Amino acid sequence: MQPQTVPMPSESPRGHKLRLVLAILFLLGLSDFLMFDQTPGINLFLLVAAFSLAIVVFARRRLRGRQPACLFLLPICAAAPLLESPSFQATIIVISTLAFVALAASKMLPARWDDLPNVMGRFYFGIPGRLVGLFQRRRAVMPTPGIVKSLLRVWTIPLILSAGFLLLFSIANPLIASALGKIDLTFLLRFFDLSRIGLWVATGCVSYLLLRPRLMKRLRKIQDASIGVGRQRASLIGNEALLRALVLFNALFALETVLDLLYLWGGATLPDGMSYAEYAHRGAYPLVVTALLAAFFVLITMRKGGAGAANRLIRVLVYLWIGQNILLCLSSILRLSLYVRVYSLTELRLAAGIWMLLVAIGLLLIMLRIARGHSNGWLVATTLAMFSATTYLVSFADMPALVARFNVAHCREVSGDGLPLDTDYLLELGPAAIPAIDDYLAATVHSMPVPENRNLLVADRMNLADTFRNDQRQEDWRSWSFRDARLARYLNVKDAIP
């Protein structure tokens, strides 16, 4: 079913344009006050609240009932991770939520929720064209060279003569001279800072795009071309070719599945010269890529009207293949855990584990989509919702602190097994690792022999704490966050190492 075309709102009258200009100027001033030359913190949350309020108040379409309150509170809830600690993933979630609210306030959301990715994509892909068009329109109303010359001819002589008279008055009158001497125009130089101008331009563009959203028009030629490509694919991958491909794929995947069941899950002895860590590390990431390629293949061949949509045997083979891919994703997670157990945890490995789990859930959704006869739009919308919810929850987690505590708890000095603590990487995690360092120092205070890195780690811990305290003193309230406040309170209570 083709998504319904969302009607574009009519051109706003002069009053609406004036309100738009006032709203953009308000957001420009507020972003300059909150963000310029400041470390991200609560200022990001407040700026999101301001954007949300502006979208609701200056919406072109009138909102009724509880719509204004709901649309205003939605970005506030999405921005909650920014209060904990600003991060890239939290910023992406907030931007997507603001775009959703902007479309909702302009009555541009589709009637079917599985068409939402299509509408959001048309909004995002239409941004470059809108910015180019905005620049061209502004250039069209800029003063022409003739107007500039006329203004210079009219104002140059009066301004020069007035400046001369003012100079003479300052010589003749000490009060005027004193007043002119107190004028300090150096503060104007601050407004010519390139980073500040960049902040204004970015805020102005984002404000315009959110307060007056538009959707990129559909191109009939692109739709016809996509239909032609789909028919070509259907002719290239017939039932017989698809059936043989699935038999071969299942056989190959079964070989890998059996080996994983023997060596990873069953604990069979590996060949000489190969460790479990090497076996785990070599397959952790390639198997996830394999699962993604398999998912792409299934989406092409099992779409509505595709080669295998009505063939029962093909559907059974697809279910079996997806099941093996899910098992491979679980094996990748197990491989990663075995590798981490030997070589410790890093932020990248933790993110990879979360990604592997998401891929496995995505494969389950593909299986559900085939079984229930849903569209690919349903699958994309559900997958994006799952990914967004996971990203939102992960934004609350202090990943460096989690990694530091895990490595300390599983190092040889504390647990008696594994490798010695990698203090270099522990220090790279920053001040968030200080509580874990304190746990390590407390656990090894009576160790015999004393770990070689303990005395050096004591000094490094003090340097980390001093650096964090100095940064906190230099920052003002706009850079505050819950995470930094908790760590500052921890250091105030535990300011001495046992």
In this prediction, residue 228 has a pLDDT band, given cuts at 50, 70 and 90, of: very low
DSSP 271: P
Q: CB of 93 within 8 A of CB of 491?
A: no
Q: Tell me if the bond preceding 449 is cis, omega within 30° of 0.
A: yes
Q: What is the pLDDT of residues 398-427, one digit of tens each?
A: 999 999 999 999 888 888 877 888 899 999
Q: CB of 321 within 8 A of CB of 246?
A: yes
Q: What is the pLDDT of residues 9-18, one digit of tens each?
A: 444 456 677 8
Nearest to 370 by CA among 305, 319, 311: 319
Angstrom distance (rounded) from CA 312 to CA 318: 10
Q: CB of 441 within 8 A of CB of 461?
A: yes
Angstrom distance (rounded) from CA 348 to CA 430: 16
Q: What is the pLDDT of residues 333-363, one digit of tens each?
A: 887 887 788 778 989 888 888 888 888 898 8
Q: CB of 86 within 8 A of CB of 481?
A: yes
Q: What is the pLDDT of residues 450-480, one digit of tens each?
A: 777 788 888 999 999 999 998 887 778 899 9
Whole-number pLDDT of residue 245: 81
pLDDT of 6 strictly over 50: no
pLDDT of 90 strictly over 80: yes
In this prediction, residue 246 has a pLDDT band, given cuts at 50, 70 and 90, of: confident
Question: Which pTM value belongs to this model?
Answer: 0.78
Angstrom distance (rounded) from CA 246 to CA 300: 13
What is the number of alpha carbons within 13 Å of residue 193 lying toward its C-beta?
Answer: 12
Q: CB of 280 within 8 A of CB of 340?
A: no
Nearest to 29 by CA among 204, 169, 155, 168: 204
Three-state SS for 133-147 is HHHHHHHHCCCCHHH
Q: CB of 420 within 8 A of CB of 344?
A: no
Residue type, 364: L
152/342: higher pLDDT: 342
Give me the mean pLDDT over the 130-155 stretch.
Answer: 64
DSSP 346: -
